[in-house]
Amino acid sequence: MKNKYPGKLLRMTSNRILLYGLLLILLLPVYISPQPENPGQLKAGWTSAVLDRNGRTLNCRVYYPAVSEGSEAPIDTSGKPYHVIAFGHGFLMQTSSYISLFKHLASYGYVVIAPQFPNTQHSELADDLIATISYIKFENKRIGSRFFQLIDTTKSGVFGHSMGGGASLLAASRDSTITVAAPLAAAETNPSAIAQMNQIKGAVYLIAGENDGITPVNNHQLPMFLNANPVKAILSIKGGNHTKFMDISTWDWTDPNGYISRTEQLRLTRRYLTGIFNHFLKEDTTYYKYTFGEQVLGDSSVIFMYELKPLIPFRFNLIFPNDTLLSPPHKFIWESTKSLNLSDTVNYELMVFKDSLLQDTFKIFSNMSDTSFITTLTSNTYYWKVRAYTSDSTYRISNQFLKFIVPEPLGLNPDPSPEEFVLYQNFPNPFNPITKIDFSLSSNANVKLSVYNIIGELEAELVNSNLNSGNHSIIFNANNLSSGIYFYKLEAGSFIQIKKMTILR
């Protein structure tokens, strides 16, 4: 049977294809999560620098996040602050053999500096790497520098290949600001990197080739791993060799071992190298799965060993109560936190004090896993803070401490006759900046409650409305008033009563 509406059907089909295509484009990012072996969101720019360290001339390549790829490209400031990572090249190698790794890390927001070593004195190479990190940190303070006020100077990283990898471990043992060392096929050095591993304060992530014929894992990286302190890991790429950590094949004849391609070895290197730097320098725990979690543990292309320890929780804030009067039951709320070790269990300790110096401890409530706690406290002025801890030695105190007041129960005030209007003394008094004013009405009335300064000028009108009989409480925040004596006046029908209060800053 001939279709009477071919044009219409064709348009419907085209529209449907277009709709499905748009849906696919929109949903694609949801189902394809970014992998750290793929380029980051930034471009890589590069420049050169010549440093002099005690007469040693260091010709350095510097790669950084840029608005466009290229030599001397303007730096992209959108992702600041950036961390600096120093790289040490292998024996007889050139920094130009590792450019793909430098560009890759720059695309993730790192400034990578790679010196060309003038000799092979391993101890000097370690100090060279420390000097290059210091140079970028100095440039962060120098007006007119490309890196002016763009560098995070509190944390840095090191890596390297072979001889340079061993030197990077020596550098990490000497500089406590090096937060993570992640060398490739690290070679034993003189002085011994193996012997110095237990002096490294930061994380150690050794990336190796399973079939390395120049620095075999069992003779070099494994002893380094065994002598390092946690946090530490050793990741051996199955079928990887020594030379395929480089972009070039010039030296492949020196190590014919291994069976995977250079492309695959570099892909896995980018994945785990980026993961460990993002995890410990950027403190981005979404990369935990690539460093110690399910992604690396389930990766059949690597052999992985690691050892973690409890780590200090991240900074966190208190939420409530804050500078307020608190009626029972008294509920405390604070932010949750975690550590870079996502297997850590974080517990909390609520500490309540009677003085702003936090020396007069009132109560401590420990071993809490929740970020809220309910208790009942006696009337007083209190200060509180929270300690989050993953162990006895790894803990963090909340960013601030807060103040609150538990007022006396209304029933403790004189019991008014049902036929009387009564204005009570505010509590606390003196106060800063919050106090509570109670009053009782024997019948419904049009009520005005006002605050005046010492010369009779109106400072605040707290109530001006019809209220029912009974007991009433008003919270007065005098945050906008200066220290001194003030008066508050209650007017209810023909009833007028005035009391004095004091703000004490």
pLDDT digits (tens, 9 = 90+) for 114-146: 999 999 999 999 999 999 999 999 999 999 999
pLDDT score, position 410: 56
pLDDT score, position 431: 86
Residue 101 has pLDDT above 80, yes or no: yes
Q: Do 469 and 453 touch, CB atoms closer than 8 A? A: no
pLDDT score, position 23: 45
Q: Tens digit of pLDDT for each residue in 51-89?
A: 999 999 999 999 999 999 999 999 999 999 999 999 999
Mean pLDDT of 207-236: 98
- What is the share, in percent, of the chain residues with pLDDT greater than 70? 91
Cα gap 132→86, rounded to integer Å: 7
Could you tell me which of 265, 123, 113 has the C-alpha nearest to residue 192? 123
pLDDT tier at 5 (50, 70, 90 boundaries)?
very low
- Sequence-ordered list of residues with C-beta below 8 angstroms from that of 134, at least 6 positions apart, any chain: none
Report DSSP letters for 346-412, one per residue: PEEEEEEESSTTS-SEEEEEEEE-SSEEEE---SEEEEEEEEEESSSSSEEE-S--EEEEEPPPGGG
Q: How far is CA 354 from the centre of its chain?
A: 32
pLDDT score, position 16: 52
**Identity of the residue numbered 474:** I
Cα gap 44→65, rounded to integer Å: 5
Tokens 């220290």, residue located: 483
- Extract the tokens encoding 199: 């002096």
Mean pLDDT of 466-475: 89
Tokens 């040693």, residue located: 56
Rounded to the nearest integer, the mean pLDDT of the chain is: 91
Mean pLDDT of 23-43: 66
User: What is the 3 state secondary structure string of 9-40?
Assistant: HHHHHHHHHHHHHHHHHHHHHHHCCCCCCCCC
Q: Work out whether strand 82-88 and strand 110-116 pair parallel, antiparallel, or are unpaired.
A: parallel
Residue 168 has pLDDT above 70, yes or no: yes
Residue 323 has pLDDT above 90, yes or no: no
Residue 32 has pLDDT above 70, yes or no: no
Cα gap 303→379, rounded to integer Å: 61
- Extract the tokens encoding 241: 């060799």
Q: Going from the N-terminus, what domains does the chain have, and what CATH number goes with each?
A: 43-307 (3.40.50.1820), 318-406 (2.60.40.10), 413-503 (2.60.40.1930)
Strand partners, 75: 66
- Sequence-ordered list of residues with C-beta below 8 angstroms from that of 302, at least 6 positions apart, any chain: 235, 236, 237, 238, 268, 272, 296
Cα gap 324→309, rounded to integer Å: 40
User: Mean pLDDT lowest for which of 10-24, 225-239, 404-418, 454-468?
Assistant: 10-24
Cα gap 377→407, rounded to integer Å: 10
pLDDT score, position 29: 41
Could you tell me which of 389, 68, 89 has the C-alpha nearest to residue 246? 89
